[in-house]
Structure 1
Amino acid sequence: MTDYIIVGAGPAGCALAARLSEDPGVKVLLIEAGGRDSHPFFHMPAGFAKMTKGIASWGWSTVPQKHLDGRVLWYTQAKVLGGGSSINAQIYTRGNPSDYDLWAYEHRCAGWSYAEVLPYFKRAEDNQRFIDSYHAAGGPLGVSIPINPLPINEAFIRAGQEYGLPYNADFNGASQEGVGHYQVTVRDARRSSAAAAYLKPLKGKRPNLSIRTDVMVTRILVEKGRAVGVEIAGQGGRSELRCEREVIVSSGAIGSPRLLMLSGIGPAAHLGEVGIEVVHDLPGVGENLQDHLDLYVIAECTGDHTYDNVAKPHRTAWAGLQYLLFKKGPVASTLFETGGFAYADKGARSPDIQFHLGSGSGIEAGVARLRNAGVTLNSAFLQPRSRGTVRLRSADPADHPLIDPNYWSDPYDKAMSLEGLRMAREILRQKALAPFILAERMPGPDKVSEADLSDYACRTCKTDHHPAGTCKMGIDDMAVVTPELKVRGLEGLRVCDSSIMPIVNSSNTNAPTIMIGEKGADLIAGKQPLPAVNFGPQRVFQR
C-alpha cells in the first residue's frame, strides 16, 4: 500500500514527491487533475504568452468584485503537471526577508523565519550565476539570468535609476529595492518548471514513486478523525485510494481549501449551506485569501523595439529557427525579464510595489494589444490589507468555486495601487526610454485625476496570479494548519502549498511555494531541519 498520497503536482507537490521518495522504504503516489506537460509551449520560455489565455487552466473566474465596479476577473489557475511553475512567467523572486520573519514572530509560526527558510531556498536552487550567502548551485531548480535582453530592457533599467531607484543585481540577495534583471527559472533556454526540475530526472529511477495525471480527487477519506486516503473520479465512476501514513494536499490556494470543504472539512455553516456533511468544523478553511492586483501602463514604441511583430509569419518562422539552432531570440525570452521593487508607502516595512516590464503589448489575457509595437509596465501592490474568501458553489466537485479576492476592500490598497501606477508612468517618461517610446497609450496622458486613474484601474486591472493564505498556518483559532503543516484537529492530513502562508510574500510566489515543499518534506519525514543561517548581530531585515 502507498505510504503517502500527494494531491496536486504543482510546485510544492513536485518537490514533496521527489524528496519523500528519496527514502526507498516508502511509497509515494502523486495525483494531478491535469495532464502531462508534453506540449512544446510548456518548455519554451515565451510559451508563457499562451498560458494566461486558457491553456492548461481550470477556467475559473472571480465573483463580481464589489470594490472594482463589479468587475469579474479571469483567474488563471494551472491544471497540468508542474502546476503554476509550468505556465508562469518564470520569474524567480522570493519576497522580502521580513515576510518570513512576520510568519515566524508575528503569526507565531516557529521554524519559518527567514534565517530558517533560506537554507531550503538554497537547497532547491541551481543558480547559474550566484553562489554566495543567498544562493547555491547543484539543486534541482535551474535559475539563470535572461540570455538576450532587448535594448529597451536595458534602457528601462537606466530609466529606473533616473527615476531614483538603485540598480540591483540580485533581488533575492542583501537588498530587494531597485531595478535590474530578474532571475528566471530557465536552464539551457528551457523552462525549469517543478515538473522538469524534480520529476523528470527521476523517470524510471524511482519505483517507489507513482505519478497519476488526469485524475480528479473528489474527497479526502476521513475515518475516526484520521485521513486514510482519497476518493477519485474516473470513467468507471468513483473509487478509493488508501494510504498508510498521510494524505498531503498540495492543490494551491484555491484548490486546497476547495478539496477540504468538499471533504466536509471547513466552516460548518457554509458546508451546511451547500449540503455537505460536516466531518470537521474548521472555520479558517477558505478564509484569508490574499492576492496581488496588477495595474499596467502600455506605451507605443518608436519602432520595432519589442516582440509584438514576431506574430507575423516570416518573423515567427525566423524566431523558431533562432531558438532551435542557437537557443536565442524571442522564443528564448520569458517576456518579462526586467523589473524592480520600490516603495509606494515610504514608511512600509519593505518595498511594496513590484514592476514587471513586458516586452510587448497584449502578452497576457485581457490586456490590450496595440496596432504597432508596444511595451507594458506592470505595477503590483505587494502588501495588501484586503482579505477575501474561497467558497463552494455547491457540493458538486465539477462546479467552479466561488473565488472572491475582495480586492480593494481596504482603501489603503487602492491608494497604494494607484501610487504604483503613477510611479510606473513616471519611469516610462524618463530620458533613457525616450528613443524607444513614442507615447503612452494606456491609461493615456490625459488621464491624470484620481477619478480617471481609479476608473482606468477598475476597467483594466488583473490578478498577478499570486493567491495565498486560504489554509493559513498558525496557532490562532482561524489557523487551518500548525507550523508543522498538520491540519488542526485531524490526524494523517497536511496541507503544503501557498495556501499555508499567513501573509503572501512580497513578490512572485513560485519560488516560495517550492521552498514550502522542500521544508514540508523534511517536516513530514521527521528529519532535523536544515541549520538556520547565522547573519550575525548586525543583520536587520528592513529598509
Structure 2
Amino acid sequence: MAVGSSSSVEWQLTMVTGKALGGSTKINGLIYHRSVPGEYNAWQDAGRKNWSWQHVEPFFKKSEDSLSHGTSPSRGIEGPWQNQSVKEHFASVRTNVKIATEFGVPLLTEANDPGAPVVACTPLDATIDRENHRCSTDAAFLPRSLVSRRRNLNICTGTICTSLDIKDGNPLEVNGVFIEVESDVTQRYHVTATREVILCAGAVATPQILLFSGIGPERPLKEIGVKVFKDLPGVGARFQDHISVPIMFKALLDNSIEVLMGKPLTAVGQFLKYILNGKGILGQQVQQADVVLRSALLDDNTQLYSMEPGELDASKPSNIPDIEVMFLSVNATDQQFDGIAKSFGGFTYLCTVLRPQSYGSVQLTSSDPRQQPLWDIGTLTNEADRVPLQKAMKLALMLASNV
C-alpha cells in the first residue's frame, strides 16, 4: 500500500494488513488490551452516549474467555475470544521489568485491571487459546461450527467490494453492494440488502469503499471520474495511527528469538516443545511486557514526579497514558542485522505514542477499486506528538543503561 507523508520529510512505506477472515488478528502481535476506563469516559464526555466504561465493560466481559484471570470480577470466562498471560518470559524481559519497578513504576499482574493505576509495568495478555494457538477474531466469533449451521450466513472469500449501491435522493438510500471476484474482473455481482448494509472494512478500506461509492470530498472524486452522491470532505480525512520507534541492542543469543535462527538444534527442540505441549518460544507473543504512563509525569531528566493518588486513577480522562515502552526479545527492524550470521541476539524497546494528535488521510489515486489508495499517515505532523515520543525514547534509554 503506497504511503506518503504530509510532513517536511517525505518517504514511502509498505503497510501490511491482514487480508483474510479475521483481518489483522491473523498477523498481529497478539496483544489483548482494553485500554483504561478513562478513554471510554472521555468518549462519553465528548457526547458519545452510552460509551462510558460503565456501558462498555459488560461487552468486554461477554466477549472474552480469560484463561489467566478468570477469577477477576472485571474479566469474562464465558465468551468466545480466549486470551491468556504467557508466563515464560525471556530473562531480558524479566530484567527490564525489575529495573522499571525499581525506577518507581508499580508492577501489575494483570494488564486489563480497570482499577489498576495508570502508571504501570505489566506482563501483556495475548490472544492465545487453550491449545496455545493464535485466537484470531474469526476463530472466536465465526468458528466453523457456527458458520455451518447458519443458513442465512454467506461468507464470500476471494472477492472485493467495489462500491455501495446507492439510490440518489434525500436522504440517500443504500440498496446493496457491488462485489467482484478479485482474480477475475469479469465476474461481477450485486448483493441486494433487504434490511441494512453495515460497512466495517477497517480504518483504510472503509473510507476507500465510501469514496468509490461517491461519498466524500467532491472535487478530488470528480477529478478521477467517480460520480458524487454526497459531498462529505471528512471521508478519508483525519486518519490517525500510533507511531512506534524501536531502540535496539545486542543481546545474548540464547536470550532472544534469534536463537531459532542461530542454533538449528535449539530451533528443532523448541518446535518439538511447542508441538508436544504448546510451550516454549513458539508459544509466546513477541511483546511480552510493557511500561505505560503519562509523559507529563516524567521530568527533563527522565525521573518520575511524585504522584498524588488522584493522578493514578484510571477512570479519569485527564490521567490517560500517552506513552508506552514495550519489551521485545528480538531485533525489530534492522535490515543490516538481518544479514548477519546469528552469533548474537537482539532486544528492542518499542517506544509508542498512545494518543497521537497528528492526522493523515486516505485518498483515491484511481477510479479502479483494485488500485491501492494513497495512505498518508501524517506521522509527527503535529508537534504535540514529538515531546511524548522523545520522553518514551529517553525512558527506554534509561532502562537500557541500567541493564
Using structure 1 for the length normalisation, give the TM-score: 0.65
Write the deviation string for residues 254-293 of structure 1: whole angstroms up to 9, x where unpaired.
Answer: 0100000001111222212222111122221111111110
Write the deviation string for residues 350-385 of structure 1: whole angstroms up to 9, x where unpaired.
Answer: 2111122112113x5969547521111101011111
| 2:242–2:356 Cα contact (<8 Å) kept | yes
Report the equivalent of 2:357.
Answer: 385
What is the alpha-carbon distance in structure 1 between the residues aligned to residue 166 and residue 276 of structure 2? 54
Quote the offset at 1:168 in angstroms: 1.5
Secondary structure in 2 aligned to 1:207? Answer: coil
Write the deviation string for residues 306-352 of structure 1: whole angstroms up to 9, x where unpaired.
Answer: 11120243333222111111211111111111112122223963211
1:231 alignment partner AA: F
Secondary structure in 2 aligned to 1:246? Answer: coil
Quote the offset at 1:303 in angstroms: 4.9
What is the alpha-carbon distance in structure 2 between the residues aligned to residue 343 and residue 214 of structure 1? 43
**Counterparts in 2 of 1:269-418, with a 5 A limit?**
269-312=219-262, 313-346=264-297, 349-362=319-332, 368-369=337-338, 371=342, 372-418=344-390
Rg larger for: 2
Report the equivalent of 2:63.
Answer: 124
Report the equivalent of 1:249.
Answer: 199
Q: Alignment partner for residue 27 of structure 2, among 87, 92, 97?
A: 87
**Counterparts in 2 of 1:132-281, with a 5 A limit?**
132-173=72-113, 174-175=115-116, 176-188=118-130, 189-200=132-143, 201-224=145-168, 225-234=172-181, 235=184, 236-281=186-231
1:178 alignment partner AA: A
Quote the offset at 1:180 in angstroms: 1.6
| 1:65–1:72 Cα contact (<8 Å) kept | no
What is the alpha-carbon distance in structure 2 between the residues aligned to residue 226 and residue 419 of structure 1? 49
Secondary structure in 2 aligned to 1:298? Answer: strand
| 2:5–2:377 Cα contact (<8 Å) kept | no
Is 1:101 matched with 2:61? Answer: no
Q: Structure 1 residues 367 and 259, CA, compared in 2 at 3 Å: closer, same or farther?
A: farther
Quote the offset at 1:410 in angstroms: 1.2
What is the alpha-carbon distance in structure 1 between the residues aligned to residue 2 and residue 96 of structure 2? 33
What is the alpha-carbon distance in structure 2 between the residues aligned to residue 366 and residue 265 of structure 1? 41
Report the equivalent of 1:508.
Answer: none
2:177 alignment partner AA: V
Q: For structure 1, list consecutive stretches of 5 or more residues without a partner in the other structure.
A: 1-59, 434-543
1:257 alignment partner AA: P
1:229 alignment partner AA: G
What is the alpha-carbon distance in structure 2 between the residues aligned to residue 249 and residue 263 of structure 1? 12
Write the deviation string for residues 417-436 of structure 1: whole angstroms up to 9, x where unpaired.
Answer: 11111111111222xx3xxx
Write the deviation string for residues 386-424 of structure 1: whole angstroms up to 9, x where unpaired.
Answer: 111111111110111111121111112112111111111
Write the deviation string for residues 469-516 of structure 1: whole angstroms up to 9, x where unpaired.
Answer: xxxxxxxxxxxxxxxxxxxxxxxxxxxxxxxxxxxxxxxxxxxxxxxx
**Counterparts in 2 of 1:34-53, with a 5 A limit?**
none
1:232 alignment partner AA: I
Secondary structure in 1 aligned to 2:139? Answer: helix
Secondary structure in 1 aligned to 2:326? Answer: strand
What is the alpha-carbon distance in structure 2 between the residues aligned to residue 289 and residue 424 of structure 1? 28
**Counterparts in 2 of 1:501-512, with a 5 A limit?**
none
| 1:126–1:142 Cα contact (<8 Å) kept | yes
Identify the structure with bigger relative contact order (alpha carbons < 8 Å, sequence gap 6+): 1
Secondary structure in 2 aligned to 1:269? Answer: helix
| 1:361–1:367 Cα contact (<8 Å) kept | no
Report the equivalent of 1:75.
Answer: 15
What is the alpha-carbon distance in structure 1 between the residues aligned to residue 12 and residue 203 of structure 2? 19
What is the alpha-carbon distance in structure 2 between the residues aligned to residue 365 and residue 86 of structure 1? 24
| 1:147–1:328 Cα contact (<8 Å) kept | no
What is the alpha-carbon distance in structure 2 between the residues aligned to residue 367 and residue 96 of structure 1? 38
1:264 alignment partner AA: G
What is the alpha-carbon distance in structure 2 between the residues aligned to residue 367 and residue 248 of structure 1? 45
Secondary structure in 2 aligned to 1:420? Answer: helix
Quote the offset at 1:83 in angstroms: 0.3
| 1:125–1:138 Cα contact (<8 Å) kept | yes
Secondary structure in 1 aligned to 2:88? Answer: coil
1:198 alignment partner AA: F
The alignment covers a number of residue pairs equal to 369
Quote the offset at 1:124 in angstroms: 0.7
Q: Structure 1 residues 61 and 349, CA, compared in 2 at 3 Å: closer, same or farther?
A: farther
| 2:249–2:346 Cα contact (<8 Å) kept | yes
| 1:216–1:233 Cα contact (<8 Å) kept | yes
Secondary structure in 1 aligned to 2:350? Answer: strand
Quote the offset at 1:105 in angstroms: 1.5
- The root-mean-square deviation of aligned C-alpha atoms, in Å, is 1.9
Secondary structure in 1 aligned to 2:254? Answer: coil
| 2:164–2:174 Cα contact (<8 Å) kept | yes
Q: Structure 1 residues 92 and 395, CA, compared in 2 at 3 Å: closer, same or farther?
A: same
| 1:232–1:238 Cα contact (<8 Å) kept | yes
1:352 alignment partner AA: D
Secondary structure in 1 aligned to 2:148? Answer: coil
